[in-house]
Amino acid sequence: MAVQSGGVNRATAERHLAAIMVADIVGYSRLMGADEAGTLRRLKALRREVIDPSIAAARGRIVKAMGDGLLAAFPSPLRAVACAVRIQRAMLIREAGRAPDQQFRLRVGINLGDVVEEPDGDVYGDGVNVAARLEPLAEPGGLCISRPVHDQVRDKLPYRFEDLGKRELKNIARPIGVFALSASAIGSLCISDEAAEEPFPSRSHPRKPAALAACAAVLLLAGGIGWWSWSALRAPAPGQPGAIPAASSANAPPLSLVVLPFANLNHDPEQEYFADGITEDLTTDLSHLDGSFVIARNTAFTYKGKPTDVRQVGRDLGVRYVLEGSVRRVEERVLLNAKLISADTGAQIWADRLEGDRSKLGELQAEFVARLARSLDVQLTQAESLRSLRERPNDPDAGDLAMRGWAALNRPRNPAHLREALRLFDEALQHDPRLVSALVGKARSLTYLAWLRWSETPEKDLAAAEAAIAQVLSDMPDHAMAHFVRGDILKARKKPDLAIPELETAIANDRNLALAYEALGHAKILLGRSTDALVPIEKALLLSPHDPALNLWLFHMCHAYTHMARYSEAIPWCLKSNAVAPLWLSYVDLAAGYAWTGQAAEAHNAVAELLKLMPNYTVEKWANAGFSDNPQFLAEYQRIVEGLRMAGLPER
């Protein structure tokens, strides 16, 4: 199929970025010569039953169809690549019963680039031309993609492309990096309906390793191809006639789960929308977690209102975990209960209960989803870490090691936990030097060690942290968690003014990233703006009230009040911090706060606890700790120095 550049009406055409797919049937002219009528019938059936529905399901648009080929546009590279693989897999199965010389085989080329779109929907430009030049490079049944596409999908879809290097393409000004996925590689895959749902958007968080084995119970065949319908109205529920055969939860991908429709216990129509909204939003937010495999909402909703056995659900859908919950109204309060269940054993792993004012359902929905998503992130990481230790104690892969690293990092902050996390992330990177979750985890561990004064080589550690994050952001510039960690690195380097834009970018890319809100508040303390720090830290505590870093967050609330010399308000926050897990910084502010409020005995006790955690610590060390160079911060900081002297901490 040839793509013509054509003329463009510049007065009405629009320019935008798009993922372009060009596909062509190999040997179509030969097949037409042998059996014109039969080939046309087969082509129409292929378009009607496989190609067109797959493109529509991936939210793509067929721009033009020209005999044996077509050109389609997609809103993202992930959707385009997942759709192309789905089509190739379907055709491989569909044509398997024919003689090799009679089979339909597609070549596919995909590019991400700037295109000009005419009012009639046609598109032109280099974005289209590169895709058209890539298509002939693909082997029959395979696909070729450009480097910009590969950069977007390589850590987000479970496909392993071969780097073909830079190629000179006809009528293209400069060489293009080309990556190929072979027909044999596609044939070894089992693709789920999640792939076309763009399960890993660019704002995803590297909170778990991307250890996806993409085989779920969505694409199985019996003499042909069976598809999960993209409409819950057409899709038979698992276990019903016409449903796809069950998969095994034992072989399911790590971090695979389904969010079952939340039950409306009052049968209140208003509450029904609320319960469905919680289910849909939670499905979306959980699919953004790195390495997660979340069953699409249309499939999940086939279970609505039906009695379920979670172990059977796990087998039906090929997932390891099932999240179920309920919504109930009690007078003017709304109560939400949620529980995470192992699909292997039916055992409850975790449960939570939230409540709020019924008059604020819209706000409650966003708050509940954010809190549940963060809690589940931590719980799933812990569960999968324990599972890998149990099942593969002596032969962990990179994903297992990174998962264990995050589990260690999610424990209360102390030097031993951070060094254990760092060791695991380094070991994971020996297996896979480009594993995003391990790179971000390593950078975060090193930054904590430097900032909390537990590192013997802080500058070296911060340089290594910056290098790891730079590697992530060069490939994934919208990675929210990476921007958050870079903000923390800049804070540790006494550049809180530069940290704030990084943290704001992290929040823009992930509105529920509690870590970034808290870090933003801390950066404002370092800039001498402690009054402005309270709101973002409170937001973080609202989004993640049981966060693994909770003791540090509570300390920062204490620290903000200490810098404002509001010691009677600071002391309770530092007491809460140490009740969660003792932190030496909290005892610094406690000692100063007690001293300034005339509570001498309590001040001496706080100093004693500080010295247990930081032996031989002195006023001189605190005075020269160098957390910030901001003049307002330093003036406020001096009051803490004086408070430590009054509390009896040794001078040097």
At residue 597, the pLDDT reads: 94
| Residue predicted with more confidence, 601 or 240 | 601
At residue 365, the pLDDT reads: 62
Model confidence at 534: pLDDT above 90: yes
At residue 558, the pLDDT reads: 95
At residue 460, the pLDDT reads: 93
The pair of structure tokens assigned to 263 is 């039950």
Q: Contact 151/434 with Cβ under 8 angstroms?
A: no
Least confident of 84-93, 203-212, 268-277, 566-575: 203-212
**Domain positions in the chain:** 14-189, 219-380, 549-652
Mean pLDDT on 122-148: 88
Distance, in Å, from the CA atom of 115 to the CA atom of 123, rounded to the nearest integer, reads 6
Residue 582 CB burial class (10 angstroms; 0-12, 13-18, ≥19)? middle
Q: Contact 238/316 with Cβ under 8 angstroms?
A: yes
Judge if 14-189 and 219-380 fold alike in CATH terms.
no
How long, in residues, is the chain? 652
**pLDDT tens digit sequence for 21-72:** 999 888 887 887 788 888 888 888 888 888 888 888 888 888 888 767 889 9
Q: Contact 643/590 with Cβ under 8 angstroms?
A: no
- The fraction of the chain above a pLDDT of 90, given in percent, is 27
**pLDDT tens digit sequence for 282-328:** 777 676 666 667 776 667 777 877 778 888 888 877 788 888 888 88
At residue 272, the pLDDT reads: 73
CA 52 to chain centre: 29
What backbone torsions phi and psi does residue 551 show, to the nearest 5 degrees?
-65, -35
219-380 is classed CATH 3.40.50.10610: yes
Distance, in Å, from the CA atom of 305 to the CA atom of 241, rounded to the nearest integer, reads 18
**pLDDT tens digit sequence for 76-117:** 888 899 999 989 888 887 887 788 888 888 999 999 887 888
Residue 413 has a CB neighbour count (10 Å cut-off) of: 20
Residues 6+ apart with CB under 8 A from 341: 310, 321, 322, 323, 324, 347, 348, 349
For domain 14-189, give the fold. Answer: Alpha-Beta Plaits (3.30.70)
CATH code for the structural domain at 549-652 = 1.25.40.10
Q: Contact 472/439 with Cβ under 8 angstroms?
A: yes
